[in-house]
Amino acid sequence: MIVTMRPDASEDEADDVIALLRGDGYELHLIRGAGPVAIGVNGRPVGAELPTLLCDMPGVSHVHQDKKPYKLATRGVRPEGTVVRVGDVEFGSGLPAIIAGPCAVESRDQVLRTAEQVRVAGGVMLRGGAFKPRSSPYSFQGLGEEGLEILAEARAITGLPVVTEVLEPEQVDLVASYADMLQIGSRNMMNVPLLRRAAATDKPVLLKRGFAATIEEWLLSAEYILAEGNDNVVLCERGIRSFDAATRFTLDLNAVPLIRELTHLPIIVDPSHGTGRRELVAPMSLAAVAAGAHGLIVEIHHDPDAALCDGPQSITADVLTEIVSRVGAIGTLLSPIEPLIA
Amino acid sequence: MIVTMRPDASEDEADDVIALLRGDGYELHLIRGAGPVAIGVNGRPVGAELPTLLCDMPGVSHVHQDKKPYKLATRGVRPEGTVVRVGDVEFGSGLPAIIAGPCAVESRDQVLRTAEQVRVAGGVMLRGGAFKPRSSPYSFQGLGEEGLEILAEARAITGLPVVTEVLEPEQVDLVASYADMLQIGSRNMMNVPLLRRAAATDKPVLLKRGFAATIEEWLLSAEYILAEGNDNVVLCERGIRSFDAATRFTLDLNAVPLIRELTHLPIIVDPSHGTGRRELVAPMSLAAVAAGAHGLIVEIHHDPDAALCDGPQSITADVLTEIVSRVGAIGTLLSPIEPLIA
Amino acid sequence: MIVTMRPDASEDEADDVIALLRGDGYELHLIRGAGPVAIGVNGRPVGAELPTLLCDMPGVSHVHQDKKPYKLATRGVRPEGTVVRVGDVEFGSGLPAIIAGPCAVESRDQVLRTAEQVRVAGGVMLRGGAFKPRSSPYSFQGLGEEGLEILAEARAITGLPVVTEVLEPEQVDLVASYADMLQIGSRNMMNVPLLRRAAATDKPVLLKRGFAATIEEWLLSAEYILAEGNDNVVLCERGIRSFDAATRFTLDLNAVPLIRELTHLPIIVDPSHGTGRRELVAPMSLAAVAAGAHGLIVEIHHDPDAALCDGPQSITADVLTEIVSRVGAIGTLLSPIEPLIA
Amino acid sequence: MIVTMRPDASEDEADDVIALLRGDGYELHLIRGAGPVAIGVNGRPVGAELPTLLCDMPGVSHVHQDKKPYKLATRGVRPEGTVVRVGDVEFGSGLPAIIAGPCAVESRDQVLRTAEQVRVAGGVMLRGGAFKPRSSPYSFQGLGEEGLEILAEARAITGLPVVTEVLEPEQVDLVASYADMLQIGSRNMMNVPLLRRAAATDKPVLLKRGFAATIEEWLLSAEYILAEGNDNVVLCERGIRSFDAATRFTLDLNAVPLIRELTHLPIIVDPSHGTGRRELVAPMSLAAVAAGAHGLIVEIHHDPDAALCDGPQSITADVLTEIVSRVGAIGTLLSPIEPLIA
């Protein structure tokens, strides 16, 4: 059961609800920050009269009960949707937000140059990996803290907030001290200790879908973060594994309208990993936005064929400029589609 | 190797090329009808000097050689793309063409009513199954020839051309005597005797992707039709099978720009089967068109919850009207995107 | 609902049951041939008192009701299992039966030589394709009727019954006039017209699992054959498609004990297609039998590297001899495992 | 390139090889412990004359070069196979080793009782989770260190070595202080920081396959452990995700002979997770061993229907006894099959 307070409810009103529930011995999960306070109640079955009682308390907006295994992430908790803010950037409101940058931080020069291209092209955030998860121990594993410093310098110059991946719990504080948003990568979607540690910072979290995770498992991973009290979570569809090697992954755009129906959290799409082929990034960017995505995260490189990782799926600044322009046009066109989607 | 003639080449010029190649003992596959004549040459390795010799012959546009296993379907044969015409409807040119209608023909009244709704909503073709492929012997298997007669009557009234599925070689002539376009369904994509028999009619063929077929296998199935001399083939992405049961199938929109890169044949998308959920049909229709699809095929029903098949994925006429309108807007917006895609 | 007669029930007793049910307006499906008569009842809900009434009729063994979508194929119809006989060969009783032979019939000499090797090695049936389903129109499509004649000659010489694939309804009578058992291949598992036509012959049917078919879909395809009155169906697991290209397919041996639990039909395994790699055929043959398979179907070739199809997965006669010997030992060892499985 | 020393080579001889290679500036990875010393050489291309030079040095057995992305895990490094020892238990030599125990440590009484059952049934190691990776934050997450203490007590009583899962790098030292073998679970197969930390202990590692990992990715994860100098790695196939929900996962037994061909590391199979259905555990255990597995890991529970996790796939002690007996018989029968497999 979830109790959602009204946007204009006072702290005292929320505290009264909390006190009543704690007094009855329930375990509570509080979510606040990105919208009205929501109070998750679990631990044991709820008495039949409790929902009505709560509804009548001052400041309570509504009480939500369903059988979904994720409780705090379910749409009913915040039917109007959560807006996640990273600096001035908003996910879940307005036109789609476009994040761009290199797969990996390779050098200061590369990142500063690319960040400037992102800004000029109309991207609103910078991505780039300082710690890289690689299948092989013999592949480039990232520059580490040096990479984080480069990203921070790029932010200082361009004004673009930075999102970068964190690979292990012990790294979280270090990465959070540089980044504006923490990325949990596809391979770590079910890494619970990492989810919990990232949630415990005050940073928004970009949670990529595991490449073989069901929608329900993905939302349960988000639930781990929400249950720690951090509701600044943006979901990212980035392709699932299928039987066909024609593309690196199968970008599952069905997930976009489905996620919008099931949860209040915003969703963006990664067409670079989701296709693995440079020529497909532009059309699939447009498709993602037409399906209802709140943003994109795209890999660009000033010289894709020389990239240390993911060269085949990196686009140039020119293509990014074109994507930003067309995504804006589609986003404007579709803003009245909301009622059709959810 | 494929020899493509110029659009303005005379029949005599084509005949000269054919005669030369036959004289050298090559096995030839001719494709004509939907564009300039193309001559597929196979059976044995080609001499090194032959391409140059052919290029110099009158009326020859270009000679194409690549290592793809499909020879006639490959993009290089007709870089400008094939336009398939069904009555006044064009696939591969102009705005996306929207086919709509019920999953199955259930009754005369249902089809006539639905066809009129399709016409009013702006759909350009009518779909509907008279012979239904069903997993269970105890499910409704379609009305058979009676269903074909109903479809023909709906065409007579509305002017909409009709596409309907054919399930076995022996049925092809019967179905072709009623339909304007023959549909090969997902389960029959690798049914070679059926592909060959359908190709041998003078009807265009709508070739759905097998739900577990790779892109290459799909194009090889198209190649069977082309190799019989019928180049009026429209491909249809309709969802692939994945590990997640959240949607009935995973609509693989990556296939859209990829197919446009690999082949000259037009591609449309079926968001009804590709999602299996009514609420996802509208957003995925828009996504398909934004990805570059040349059209859509959508299931509608005047009373979806009472449908004899596929009710959960059927939309109403109101939603269809909305889709047609928005697809038109996106199509108009994106017409200059061509250079980005292929 | 299924009514199963006792093995010693008279025809008159069965007729009485049938008459009673027909008199009540039920649609019936009769299965006989490979065991006691079973009468499938469907078409409308069954009255609450009917099962008890039927149980009391002379000759009735038991009445079975469950919610599985396949009615005649469900285990409860014949808990003791169906034994399918092809000449002297039994599937579903005794030691595992091993079918072997070339992928495709390439020549008279090849088949006669291979058939003799199969016989000497201890194989009990000969396989070989005269009509080949191929992804590409440019691949070898089989020798057709000439291939059937060669198979028949090999049978005459060695005494081994012959199983061969049939690709389309119109071919069924021709193939049935030569073969002892009709194979429905993986790509045709859902080809209903073909299933029905094959069922209508008096030949046993080997029904391969579609490479992307669920267990339930597979049993529903078997149900189509049973519903036509032919209960001589042997199922064959031959690998499913997965995300890993390390093997051609993923042999799903879970299917073996599961099929034995769900249906009374016997199941065999094809480790050649199920692995696509020669070195894996022997260990996976043993694994299949240890999992409870009633037999194997294996590709062998006298010169695998020169085979016109499937060379990489064909084994030599020496390996076949070794497999037959070890399969026999495991089969003997495991005969008391039955209670553990189902 | 890998240089493998002879079993009887002296430390000085190995040191000479190492000194020569370091002198030439190569980066080296040494594996020792479970067999003859092997020296992995990478970092830059190797001169053409170097292999011959090395082969002539005293104590060198052979020099192995191939293009596989995993260097130390490849079969050629130790063609005779690696034997991993945990106490008196051997993986990779002798009869298959059977590990059994509950999914989760629920209570002292449960574990002591189950451990005694495992010992009596003939199991050689005890499994049980103290830290549980769960999809939902609301599921039982394990007893933590209390669970480790219970496992240690069970070992003290029964003499069975203990394997248990470790979920995060910071937990490794704690878990290693109790366990005899560290398990890296399926969801953590690509958790590189965890692989590295586990490798740095002196404990053998049980590396489960990711449920959507390719064989190559799995071996690359093993390579991370080997590259840290720990060659006591046992691989465990535990089922992959497929499109069919009939079983919880698809147990990929093709992996068993394939892994034996590709790597020198031993492989065991988990039929409990690999099927998710109690009735399938016994037949799939036998199948795994017939395919060549070096052992099994099985979930048992004294009261499966009351288990806090994985009850539907847990077997009873009686079935375990039966499995141990039959696995022993098949193992004995098949010991001469080695030449067929690899």
pLDDT of residue C302: 84
Of D242, D283, D291, the CB nearest to C286: D291
pLDDT tens readout for residues D230-254: 999 999 999 999 999 999 999 999 9
Mean pLDDT, residues D140-162 taken together: 96
* Residue D246 distance to chain B (closest CA, Å): 12
* pLDDT (0 to 100) of residue C71: 87
Give the model's pLDDT for residue B38. Answer: 86
Q: Give the number of B-C residue pairs with CB atoms closer than 8 Å.
A: 76
DSSP conformation class of D134: -
**pLDDT number for residue C171:** 95
d(CA A322, CA C262): 56
pLDDT of the residue at A158: 98
Residue D84's beta-bridge partner residues?
D91
Q: What is the mean pLDDT of residues D120-149?
A: 93
- How confident is the model over B192-213, as a mean pLDDT? 97
Which positions in chain A touch B244 (Cβ < 8 Å)?
Answer: 214-215, 240, 252
Which residues in chain C are closer than 8 Å to A242, comparing Cβ atoms?
243
pLDDT at B116 over 80: yes
Test A287 with B283 for CB contact under 8 angstroms: no
Contact A284 B253 (CB under 8 A): yes
Closest chain B C-alpha to A98 CA, distance in angstroms: 17
CB atoms within 10 A of CB C186: 24
Q: Which of C214, C287, C319 lies closest to D253 in CB terms? A: C287
What is the token pair recorded at B330? 């996106």
Q: Is the pLDDT of residue A338 over 80?
A: no
Mean pLDDT of A180-196: 97
Q: What is the pLDDT of residue C339?
A: 41
Chain B residues closer than 8 Å to D245 by CB:
245
The strand pair at B295-299 and B97-101 is best described as parallel
Minimal CA separation from D248 to chain B, in Å: 11
- Local structure of residue C179 (DSSP, 8 states): -
Chain D residue numbers touching B239 (CB-CB < 8 A): none
Instruction: Please write the tens of the pLDDT for every residue from B246-276.
Output: 999 999 999 999 999 999 999 999 999 999 9
CB contact under 8 A, C169 and B168: yes
Q: Give the chain A residue nearest C246 (alpha carbons).
A: A243
Question: What does the pLDDT read at residue D197?
Answer: 97
Q: What is the pLDDT of residue A45?
A: 60
Q: What is the nearest CA distance from D21 to chain C, expressed in angstroms?
A: 34
User: Å from C164 to nearest chain B CA?
Assistant: 17
As a whole number, mean pLDDT of residues B44-49 equals 70
Predicted confidence (pLDDT) at residue A277 exceeds the cutoff of 50 = yes
A38-52, A162-176, A318-332, B197-211: lowest mean pLDDT where? A38-52
Query: Which residues from A are below 8 Å from C241, CB to CB?
Result: 243
H-run or E-run covering C190 = none
What are the residues whose beta carbons fall under 8 Å from the beta carbon of B34, sequence distance 6 or more? Answer: B82, B83, B84, B85, B231, B232
Compare all CA atoms of chain D with the CA of C328 and give the residue at the minimum distance.
Answer: D333
> Does D24 or B220 have the greater pLDDT score?
B220
The answer to whether residue A339 scores a pLDDT higher than 50 is no
Please indicate whether, in this complex, the C-beta atoms of B191 and C192 are within 8 angstroms of each other.
Answer: no
> Which residue of chain B has the CA closest to D241?
B243
Residue in chain A nearest D42 by alpha carbon: A138
Q: pLDDT at position A279, please?
A: 95
CA-based nearest residue in chain A for residue B328: A333
Mean pLDDT score of chain A, rounded to an integer? 92
Answer whether residue B67 shows pLDDT above 90.
no
Q: Which of C275, C282, C290 is nearest to C321 (CA)?
A: C282
Model ipTM?
0.90
Please give the full DSSP string across B78-135, using - where no structure is assigned: STT---EEETTEEESSSSPEEEEE-SB---HHHHHHHHHHHHHHT--EEE-BSS---S
CA of D322 vs chain A CAs: smallest distance (Å): 35
Cβ of B191 within 8 Å of Cβ of C191? The answer is yes
For residue C154, the model assigns a pLDDT of 98
What pLDDT is attached to residue A7? Answer: 87
Q: Which chain D positions have a beta carbon within 8 Å of B250's beta carbon?
A: none
Contact yes or no for D212 and A217 at CB 8 A: no
pLDDT block averages, 10 residues each, chain C of length 342:
88 91 83 80 70 89 83 91 97 96 95 97 97 88 95 98 97 97 97 97 97 97 94 97 95 98 97 96 97 97 84 92 95 66 38
Give the number of residues written for chain A: 342
**Which of B59-73, C310-324, D44-58 has the lowest average pLDDT?**
D44-58
Q: Give B212→chain D minimum CA distance, Å.
A: 10
Does the pLDDT at position D117 exceed 80?
A: yes
Q: What is the pLDDT of residues D184-226, one digit of tens each?
A: 999 999 999 999 999 999 899 999 999 999 999 999 999 999 9
Contact C250 D258 (CB under 8 A): no
Reference D275, options D325, D318, D240, D320; nearest CA is: D240
State yes or no: pLDDT of B243 exceeds 80.
yes
Q: Select the residue from B186, B242, B243 to test the D interface by mutation, using most D Cβ atoms within 10 A.
A: B243
The shortest C-alpha distance from D241 to chain B (Å) reads 6
Mean pLDDT, range D281-290, rounded to an integer: 97
Neighbours of B16 (CB within 10 A): 16
For A286, name the nearest residue in chain B, comparing CA atoms only: B290
What is the Cα–Cα distance from A15 to A18, expressed in whole angstroms? 5
In angstroms, the CA C303 to CA C316 distance is 7
Distance CA B44, CA D304 (A): 65
| A241 contacts C241? CB cut-off 8 A | no
Residue D332 Cα, gap to closest chain A Cα (Å): 38
Report whether pLDDT(B34) > 50: yes
Q: Are A122 and A296 in contact (CB under 8 A)?
A: no
- Chain B: residue nearest D249 by CA? B243
Rg for chain D, CA atoms, rounded: 20
Contact (CB<8Å) D215/C244: yes
Contact B270, B236 (CB under 8 A): yes
pLDDT tens per residue, range C93-110: 999 999 999 999 999 999
Taking 80 as the threshold, does the pLDDT of residue A66 lie above it?
A: no
Give how far C275 is from chain A: nearest CA, Å. 15
Better pLDDT: A55 or A64: A55
CB neighbourhood size of C109 (10 A):
10
pLDDT at A44 over 80: no
Q: Is residue A47 exposed (0-12), middle (13-18) or buried (19+ Cβ within 10 Å)? A: exposed
Query: What's the pLDDT at D336?
Result: 53
Q: Do D341 and C250 lie within an 8 Å CB cutoff?
A: no
Nearest by CB: C170 against B42, B169, B224: B169
Say yes or no for a CB contact (<8 Å) between C253 and D289: no
pLDDT at D183 over 90: yes
Q: A215 vs chain B: nearest CA distance in angstroms?
A: 7
What percent of chain D is predicted at pLDDT more than 70? 96
Q: Of A48-57, D98-107, D160-169, give the lowest mean pLDDT range.
A: A48-57
pLDDT digits (tens, 9 = 90+) for A290-300: 999 999 999 99
How many A-D residue pairs are in contact by the CB < 8 A criterion? 76
* Highest mean pLDDT of the ranges B191-200, B310-319, B332-341: B191-200
Q: Do D242 and B245 touch (CB under 8 A)?
A: no
Q: Under an 8 A CB cutoff, do C133 and B212 touch?
A: no
Test mutation, A243, A247, A248, chain C, max C CBs within 10 A:
A243
Bridge partners of residue D300, in order along the sequence: D315
pLDDT at residue B341 above 70? no
Picking from C27, C72, C131, C192 by the largest number of B CB atoms within 10 A of its own CB, the best residue to mutate is: C192
Interface test with B, best of C138, C174, C175 (most B CBs within 10 A): C138
The residues on C that touch A, with CB distances below 8 Å, are: 212, 241-243, 245
pLDDT at A298: 98
CA distance A121 to A321: 4
Residue appearing with tokens 């067409």: A271
Q: For residue D340, what pLDDT is reported?
A: 44
Residue from C240, C243, C247, C249 whose CB has the most chain A CBs within 10 Å, to mutate: C243
pLDDT band at A337 (very low <50, low <70, confident <90, very high): very low
Which DSSP string corresponds to A192-238?
HHHHHHHHTSSS-EEEEPPTT--HHHHHHHHHHHHHTTB--EEEEE-
Residue in chain C closest to A212 (alpha carbons) equals C243
Higher pLDDT among residues A149 and B67, named by residue: A149
- What's the pLDDT tens digit per position in A201-258? 989 999 999 999 999 999 999 999 999 989 999 999 999 999 999 999 999 999 999 9
Q: Which of A138, A192, A241 sits opposite D212 (nearest CB)?
A: A241
Position D46 pLDDT exceeds 80: no
